[in-house]
Amino acid sequence: MRNLKGRRIAILATNGFEESELFEPKRILENSGAEVTVISPVSGKIKAWRHGNWSKEIKVDVTLENASEKDYDCLILPGGVLNPDKLRRSSEAVDLVRRFFEKKKLIAAICHGPQLLIDAEIINGRTMTSFHAIRKDLQNAGAMISSGSNNCIYFGNICNNRDFSQQEVWDTCNHYCHYLHRYFFISYAAS
């Protein structure tokens, strides 16, 4: 596992995020030394969705109105059917995603998470992978969908994966950690 000590990672989510797509990356990134902050439009706690039912809760660290891309190195967008659909209706959430992109900070979108990238209008011409249910949405927004078997695709400062089943959690998080380490090394060595 790569050392991400000193890196600040934001996870943008609301009620209905897919349980494994927030809890597992958060745990693995924290074990790699990163400081992980949960950002949400709601204060208090938000509730996960797992196998068609409400699940565990997690504490919101920072409300969306108080969040700034300046405070973080990376943004993670977990999926779930409900979570990104709710977030994409929030102009503040979409603007935060767009600001991360414009500042060339890494954005990692999981499963349905790229729906926010569509609304931020930042995927035109990018190669991506896709969960089958949002493939046409991504194509209509101008993304080129990889026909390969890659679960993770990295294109500039956006990386995404199409699925986050329990068997792929560790591999996907390792890919993200490796890419984060490489991205930070290249970005900061060049500045």
Instruction: State the sign of the Cα–Cα–Cα–Cα dihedral 162, 166, 171, 173.
Output: positive
Tell me the CA distances in angstroms from 55 to 58, 77, 82, 139, one per residue in order.
10, 18, 13, 32
CATH architecture of 8-190: 3-Layer(aba) Sandwich (3.40)
Query: What sign for the dihedral angle of Cα 141, 133, 20, 186?
Result: negative
Structural domain boundaries of the chain?
A: 8-190
112 is an active site residue = yes
pLDDT band at 189 (very low <50, low <70, confident <90, very high): very low
| pLDDT digits 0-9 by tens, 35-79 | 999 999 999 999 999 999 999 999 999 999 999 999 999 999 999
Taking 70 as the threshold, does the pLDDT of residue 167 lie above it? no
Closest among 141, 120, 119 to 128, alpha carbons compared? 141
| pLDDT over 70 (residue 108) | yes
Backbone angles phi, psi at 19, to 5 degrees: -50, -55
Distance separating the N- and C-terminal Cα atoms of the chain:
25
Predicted confidence band of residue 188 (pLDDT cuts 50, 70, 90): very low
For residue 57, list its beta bridge partners: 47
Distance of CA 74 to the CA centre of its chain: 9
Q: Of these residues, 74, 111, 152, 159, which one is catalytic?
A: 111
The catalytically annotated residue of 74, 112, 159, 175 is 112
| Greater pLDDT, 186 or 150 | 150
The answer to whether 173 is a known catalytic residue is no
Q: H or E stretch including 39? A: strand 35-40
190 confidence band (pLDDT: 50, 70, 90): very low
